[in-house]
Amino acid sequence: MPELPEVEIVRQSLNRQVKNRKIIKIQVNNRNLRLKVPKDFEQIFKNAVIEKIQRKSKYLILVFNNHLYCVIHLGMSGTLHFMGLKKKITNLSFYGSQSLPKKHNHIIFRFKNFKLIYNDPRRFGFFKILNNKSDYLRFFTRIGPEAISKDFNKKYLRKILKNRTKNIKNLLLDQKLVSGLGNIYVNEILFQAKINPFKKSYLINLDENKKIVKYSKIILNKAIRFGGSSIRDFKGITGKSGNFQSEFKVYDRAKKKCSRNKCSGQIRRKIISNRSTFICSVCQK
């Protein structure tokens, strides 16, 4: 599943291509996504102009000139593709290749000179219509502050850590408490902070609190600058792969020597809540 940096790169790509563009037609081939696509979806957005593209956590939001919003979540396997008049394909999403899949193209947005195609084999993604700003604000009350935002700070983190027995990794992955973080980046953040992912949240001290906030922002911003992590051929509209995976210090490095200078530890892979967790045997005791 794409995390905040990958979704931000998709937003930037969409912003360059579809901002201020009119949707000529929408074709829905399969309404049975995670949330059923409304029957009037095609008519609601036909001839509507996309004024801007926003991102909230791992969600994309198309903002229209008719004051409607369309929230897009890519789920586990959702991908977005541009197809130009000469059939050149650019993959905007986390999984997939540069070619348009032959199956599972569920929604097609037709613009004047190109198409935007949503493909999703597992159908865990969704498109949700929000009718006004109040609906928009209400929808996003379900998630916590983004780890990249100023609202995610030492004071806020200290508040949500208090009296919680959940391990720190699972707490940071809880989108109701902190939004935008996924398995890859939480592994990296806790490694940089020298915190064991199994440590109970209420035991995190003030220094560790500060490090979690600090490295959350540093690592996510760096990942965005690097164009995301191309675990499975993620590419933006320019066709360039994200290459933050070359910066991984701990994720997917099981049995390798710790990347820290003067550390004799070895990276071990363990499982927390069915997710691969990578820990230095020395740094993160």
Positions annotated as catalytic residues are: 2-3, 58, 275
Which residue has 């001839």 as its token pair? 47
- Report d(CA 177, CA 170) in Å as an integer: 10
Alpha helices in 115-153 (DSSP H): 133-139
3-state secondary structure of 11: helix
Does the CA dihedral 64-42-143-146 come out positive or negative?
Answer: negative
Alpha helices in the chain (DSSP H): 4-18, 41-45, 133-139, 154-161, 168-173, 183-192, 206-225
- Report d(CA 11, CA 50) in Å as an integer: 13
- Reported as half-sphere exposure (CB side, CA atoms, 13 A), residue 215 has a value of 19
Which residue has 């926003």 as its token pair? 54
Nearest to 129 by CA among 19, 24, 41: 41
